[in-house]
């Protein structure tokens, strides 16, 4: 089985879907001739031509608006945000139109909006954000954020085949740092299904994206203290996989929720409340969050490191709930 980087897995998934379905096309800033800011779409223009790999003006609202229109007439557009931070410019198009079309008049809007999210590369406050919580509150959208090459390829293919709008967040820190086996055969990772990356009996960590890898590191450290952690990779943020989340925490009785996004109004708060409402009687300790603080993400490398959740913070949280 081939070993691919996270970036190569996304690239391969896009390529295969364009080969499989001529309705799939790409649009975004510098994705054609330049091959994308991170080179995800390098070579696509030469293979698929300028009608299916479209370089756009610097206007995220126009990119997403055009994608929605194309979807409504039967195409399967994949719109790239050069950095996911600038999806905010298309917020109205996504939340007030694409997300509501099926509810209002039964029309699916099969678009994918993908782009690099997250910190760790010293991009500063406009190129390092995690924007999932802004859209998590919007019925009609689906949100995915893979952590591994296998999931990255399977989820991009599932997103393209979905009949409704999918936001596909890819963590830029993982692009060339994470490698994994990826099948050559056609496969998808179902949207809405979490994955247990490490089984355990004592504490559940619920997380996604880059924080999956930090949580796995933390789990290895506390295993030396006879604390066995179950690491659940959410993979899909909207809709959440309540079945996997609740069954894991009911088994261990303790939960730590880890995300790179800032704390207030983050996804961790919603998950904690679901645990409280539905399996309170199984909890042996308070649910704990490990998140970034409520500030913009700094450009300065030392400040960025302080801002981002670190392995030691996760270890401390796990120890606290385990010994509560």
127 is an active site residue? yes
Which residues on adjacent β-strands are paired with residue 205? Answer: 231, 256
Catalytic residue among 127, 171, 213, 259: 127
Residue 229 three-state SS? strand
d(CA 277, CA 231): 22
- Contact yes or no for 135/141 (Cβ under 8 A): yes
Q: State the DSSP H helix or E strand holding residue 16, giving kind and residue range, or none if neither.
A: helix 6-20
d(CA 140, CA 314): 33
Residue 154 three-state SS? helix
Question: Which one-letter DSSP state was computed for residue 81?
Answer: P
d(CA 249, CA 256): 9
Burial of 67 (0-12, 13-18, 19+ CB in 10 A): buried
d(CA 37, CA 230): 36
Burial of 222 (0-12, 13-18, 19+ CB in 10 A): buried
Q: Helix %, strand %, coil % for the chain, to 5?
A: 40, 20, 40
Active-site residue numbers? 127
């Amino acid at each position: 089985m081939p070993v691919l980087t996270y970036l190569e897995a996304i690239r391969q998934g896009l390529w295969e879907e364009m080969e499989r379905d001529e309705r799939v096309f790409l649009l975004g800033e510098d994705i054609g001739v330049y091959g994308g800011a991170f080179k995800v779409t390098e070579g696509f223009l030469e293979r698929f031509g300028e009608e299916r790999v479209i370089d756009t003006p610097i206007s995220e609202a126009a990119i997403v608006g055009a994608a929605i229109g194309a979807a409504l007439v039967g195409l399967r557009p994949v719109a790239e945000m050069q950095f996911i931070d600038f999806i905010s410019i298309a917020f109205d198009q996504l939340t007030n139109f694409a997300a509501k079309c099926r509810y209002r008049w039964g029309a699916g809007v099969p678009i994918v909006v993908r782009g690099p999210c997250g910190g760790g590369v010293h991009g500063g406050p406009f190129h390092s954000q995690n924007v999932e919580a802004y859209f998590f509150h919007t019925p009609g959208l689906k949100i995915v954020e893979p952590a591994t090459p296998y999931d990255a390829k399977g989820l991009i293919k599932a997103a393209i085949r979905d009949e409704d709008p999918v936001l596909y967040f890819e963590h830029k820190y993982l692009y060339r740092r994470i490698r994994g086996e990826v099948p050559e055969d056609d496969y998808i990772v179902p949207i809405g299904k979490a994955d247990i990356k490490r089984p355990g009996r004592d504490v559940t960590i619920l997380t996604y994206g880059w924080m999956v890898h930090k949580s796995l590191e933390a789990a290895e450290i506390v295993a030396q203290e006879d604390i066995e952690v179950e690491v659940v990779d959410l993979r899909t943020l909207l809709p959440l996989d309540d079945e996997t989340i609740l069954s894991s925490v009911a088994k261990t009785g303790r939960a730590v929720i880890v995300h790179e996004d800032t704390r207030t109004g983050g996804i961790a708060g919603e998950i904690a409340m679901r645990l409280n409402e539905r399996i309170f009687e199984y909890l042996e300790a308070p649910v704990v969050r490990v998140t970034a603080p409520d500030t913009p993400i700094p450009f300065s490398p030392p400040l960025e490191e302080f801002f981002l959740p670190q392995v030691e913070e996760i270890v401390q949280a796990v120890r606290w709930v385990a010994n509560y």
